[in-house]
Amino acid sequence: MKKAAALAAGVAMLAAAIAIPALGAPGASHGTVLTASTSPSKKGKPARPIGVKIHTVFTTQEAAQGQPGFATTRTVVHLPKYIRFHGDKFKHCSQAILDASGPTACPSGSQVGSGAAQGRALGQTENLTVAAFNGQGSKQLLLYVQGSTPLQINSTIVGAVKADSGKYGYKLDVAIPPNLQQPLTGVFATLTKFDTTIGGKRAGKNYVDSIGCLKNKRNWGADLTFTDGTQDKTTTTSTCT
């Protein structure tokens, strides 16, 4: 009996040891890679700001075959020091308008970017378009995501622009809506790629500008949190001339 009990306990411990990594231990990586840059790369100066567009691309590896799926719940993007936002100079849209009527209902002049994304679930790929809008107040960015195949998706992602510290100037704190995490109950969708460009000019005013950089480079970073309890941290740099 003692041998049988010990054997059962050993089997249970082995099963737990196998299952825990499969679910994703905190700190494990999903291989997220960030690339980022500004166009143009000129640094500018306080007395002579340079209008720029911010281009960021996230790629994340989906779960290996036989492993549980996962989705991103939150992304915090750290933006270079000396990059400034001027949402107060632009018209704004709201999450309520986007959710009710879509991007065509937003005021002319409130769109400040665009992009594309891909989601993967159950072996299927959903290609998505992204339209970025200046949100209410001067520190809110709205990303409206649309897709039609294999599922109809219309969703607003809200990002809050906040002050950052150290080598970063601002951070964009983005919570992913539950319907994008699980487009179907119990089915997690992994955003394997998210590619956006933010910036623009209205009435002579730039949505984003640059007044300098650190040691001729721009520093970027991102912290991602996933439904399986894991996190990814990634950094990159771009040139600044």
* pLDDT 10s digits, 144-203: 999 999 999 999 999 999 999 999 999 999 999 998 999 888 899 999 999 999 999 988
* Rg for the chain, CA atoms, rounded: 21
Residue 213 domain flag:
yes
Least confident piece of the model among 1-15, 38-52, 76-90 = 1-15
Tell me how far apart the alpha carbons of residues 236 and 57 are, in angstroms, rounded to a whole number.
11
pLDDT for residue 220: 98
Whether residue 158 lies inside any domain: the answer is yes
**Kind and range of the H or E run holding 16:** helix 2-23
- Mean pLDDT of all residues in 198-220: 94
Structural domain contains residue 216:
yes
Q: Are the C-beta atoms of 220 and 34 separated by less than 8 Å?
A: yes
Kindly state whether residue 160 falls inside one of the protein's structural domains. yes
* pTM for the full predicted model: 0.85
Residue 123 lies in a domain: yes
DSSP letters spanning 25-54: -TT-----EEEEEEES----BTTB-EE-EE
SS3 state of residue 220 = strand
**Is 5 a residue whose pLDDT tops 50?**
no
Q: Has residue 16 been placed in a domain?
A: no
Instruction: Show the domain range for 155.
Output: 30-239
Confidence of residue 126 (pLDDT cuts 50, 70, 90): very high
Domain contains 20: no
Asked whether residue 124 is domain-assigned, the answer is yes
Whether residue 15 has pLDDT greater than 50: no
What is the C-alpha separation between 109 and 202, in angstroms, rounded? 7
| Number of structural domains found in the chain | 1
C-alpha–C-alpha distance, residues 86 and 199, integer Å:
10
Residue 91 pLDDT exceeds 90 = yes
From residue 61, alpha-carbon distances to 54, 75, 144, 192, 232 in Å are 23, 15, 23, 6, 11
Give residues with Cβ within 8 angstroms of 100, minimum separation 6.
Answer: none
In angstroms, the CA 67 to CA 73 distance is 19
User: Where residue 8 falls among pLDDT bands split at 50, 70, 90?
Assistant: very low
First to last CA, the chain: 75
For the cut 70, the answer to whether the pLDDT of residue 136 exceeds it is: yes
In the prediction, which pLDDT does 137 show?
Answer: 77
